[in-house]
Structures are given as structure tokens and as C-alpha cells.
Amino acid sequence: MRLSGSRLLRTRASHVRQISVRRLVHSTDGLDGSRALGLPSNSTPLQKILYASIQAKGPIPVSEYMQMCLSHPIEGYYMKGDPIGARGDFITSPEISQLFGELVGIWFVYQWLEHGQSRAIRVVELGPGRGTLMDDMLRTFDSIKQTRGQIQAVHLVETSNKLREEQKSRLTMRVPERILCWHDRAEDISKSDDAFTVLVAHELFDAIPIHIIEKTPDGFQEVLVDIDRTAQTTTTGTLSSVNAPCGFRFVLSGRLSPLAHTLGQSSPRFASVPNASRIEVSPTSWGIARTIGEMLSAPGGGAGLIIDYGDNRAFGSSFRASNTNPIDVFYQPGLSDLTANVDFAYLEEAIASTSASTRGPITQRAFLAGMGVSVRVQRLLAGVEDAEKRTRIEKGAQRLMDPLGMGTQYKVLGITSSTGDTYPFNINIT
């Protein structure tokens, strides 16, 4: 394909910048290279790549920094090892107890029985991790007479080849491989006219890159990631500035930009924030939420659950890093998970632009209580004599329901193609 003159110049300029960045990174490998860049001696390869990139093209959006840290093809956090479960840096609700996936599955069974029983079931998960949640859901569907044999297809949105293989190995124990389908993006999944779609997104939106904007008297400006040029290295290669231990800092763009203006106008709630307020906003999340709404409001109908930590409001300072403990977002990029609280109201606004309806959000504790977690725990315990297994079941349930932890930190948003009350979102459970 031929390129226009201006596009060709942009392509050549980008190519030159990439060469410059690669040369700079390769010429600064090792301890001496870290010192040359003004970075600590324990800098990661990605830290050097980011530093060199900012030197070459200037400050970058927080979204680009987050995307690089999590999804760089070689050095990204999610591209290395297994961060999920007991072996990794964090553990999710499905990894804690089978109760979680079973009760989520039962909610979907209720929705299908009420609204889609005449149609086959199409199951979709966005960000399925190791496949534990989907495994528990499929096992639940198979254990109930009405839904046994009704699964038409299982669609998984996953970009990691390693996780795809783990999902395949786990899920082919439940369903034929021929009905398993993987996609890179949610929008790659077609809308269904003949199947009832059940969709779950568990701990997906917290890891989607965010932009940070700040309200100024003249309008919104974007918060960017820049090199901290005030930081100085000592002869040992460590930074002397306690305020910039990692060589990066947040800066304001210094000017209004069309993107910052658009983000500031993307929700009517943002207009009323006072000057100097910061807002974490993810247009990518808005797009995915809208895609979910479109998928579930297709002629085949459907129901969905978004489960994540956050609240029904915007956040300004929830962006953080963590491996086993909370740390600076600029500390050793690529070795820690980066996350931000989910603005559920923003997702609701996106879904409201479709024909789907939302319910909640309610706390994970309220959702699981409404779905009968206490009864399910007792039934599990009745079939287990081993003391260690009984303790594991009880502690797992307690952790999922913890009023000072996961039970209230995680919220559940319901999405349906129908109107009217939807259990347990229509009852008051604390």
C-alpha cells in the first residue's frame, strides 16, 4: 500500500525514533548504563526502555505507561510467569473457593430459565485468567438438568498464548474443544440472533489502562509520565532524591489538548468537579462496556456480570502498583501489577448507550449472600470429613464475604437484555 507524503514522513520519523530508542537502550545495558540514564542500579529492562522512549519523544500518557508495564511483548508483567493464584503475586475470588464460580453460574442459570430457555447458551468471558471461573461455571451448568448439554459455544477473550493453553487444557475437561473459541478483543465476538449470551468479566477493568486528567481554570489537561530530571545518581548508582526514587514523575501537559477535553466531556459527572481535581478515566473501558451492552441486547438476548474492585463514582488517586505489597507505580516497571479502581458509573453510562439495562452495582458480599452462599457452604461441609478440607472451605467463604476486605471492596454490576427487577440486585442485603 502506498503512503501519502505526510503519512510517509510520520512513518519514517517513527522509524527513526524507534531506532534511536533501541540504540540508546542497547548502549546503556548494565550498571554503567543505568548510571548513564540516571536510573537506579536495580533498574529493570523495561525501565530503561521507558526512560529512553521518553527521552526520545517526550512525556507519555499514563495509559501508555500502564500498557507498556503490563503488556510489553517481552518485559510486560502479564507476559511473564503466572501472576494469578497461590504461585503468583495476587489471588482472585475464583482461585480462593469454588463457591464463587458456582454461585455466579447459578445466577446465569436463573437468567436463562427466566428469559432464554428456548435458546441454546453461549458463554463469554473477558479476561479468563487460568480458566478457573469458567471451569466452575461450566461444571455448574452441567450439574443442573435444565442446562446440561445446552452450551452452544464458549468464547474467551485472551491475548496471552500461555494462558490460552492453560485455559484449553482445563476447559476441554468440561466441553468439546470444537466449541472453544479465543479472541483478542471483545468486539471480535459476533452478536447472536439464536443463542442466549451469558457474559462475565471478573477483574478485567481494573487492569485496563487509564488516562489521568486534571481540571484547570481553562479546562482539562492530561497528566503525563516524564523523566525526573531533578534526580541525581550517586557513585553507587542509587538516586539521591527521595521524592523520585525511580527516575520518573507525573507532570501536567501544560496545555489543553483535544483528548483531555474529550475525556473531560465523556461523562456529565465530570463537569462539576472543582479545579485541581484529578480524574482517572478509561475510554477503552467505556468502549468495552458498550460492546458488552450491544452483545447482550442482540436478538438472542443475554445477561452479564462485571465483578471488580471500585465503586459507583470516579476516582482521582487510585492508580497503584502491587506485587505482594503496595509499592510506587514507578518502582521496577514490568515486575509489578498496575491497577486502578473501576468507575462503575462510567461503565453504566456506556451500557446505557445500548438497549441493555444495568442492575447495581452491589457488593460481592451482598451478591453471594443473596445467591445462598451460606447454604452452599453447609452442603459442601456435609460431604467432607477431612478437617483440613473443611477448614479450607470455611476460610475461603469467609474471605469472599469479608466485610473489611473482598466482600465490600469488590462490586457486582448486573447487565440484562430485559427490564424489571433482577435478583439479588432488587433486595437489600448488607
pLDDT digits (tens, 9 = 90+) for 48-71: 999 999 999 999 999 999 999 999
Closest to 348 measured CA to CA, from 314, 319, 318? 314
Q: Which fold has domain 93-206+295-311+344-416?
A: Rossmann fold (3.40.50)
For residue 6, name the pLDDT band (cuts at 50, 70, 90): very low
- pLDDT tens column, 217-263: 999 999 999 998 775 443 333 333 334 456 899 999 998 889 999 99
Boundaries of CATH 3.40.50.150 in the chain?
93-206+295-311+344-416
Residue 259, exposed/middle/buried by CB under 10 A (0-12, 13-18, 19+)? middle
- DSSP lists the bridge partners of residue 154 as 123, 180
pLDDT at 205 over 80: yes
- DSSP lists the bridge partners of residue 183 as 157
Antiparallel, parallel or unpaired: β 320-322 and 278-281? unpaired
Q: Which residue has the higher pLDDT, 391 or 16?
A: 391
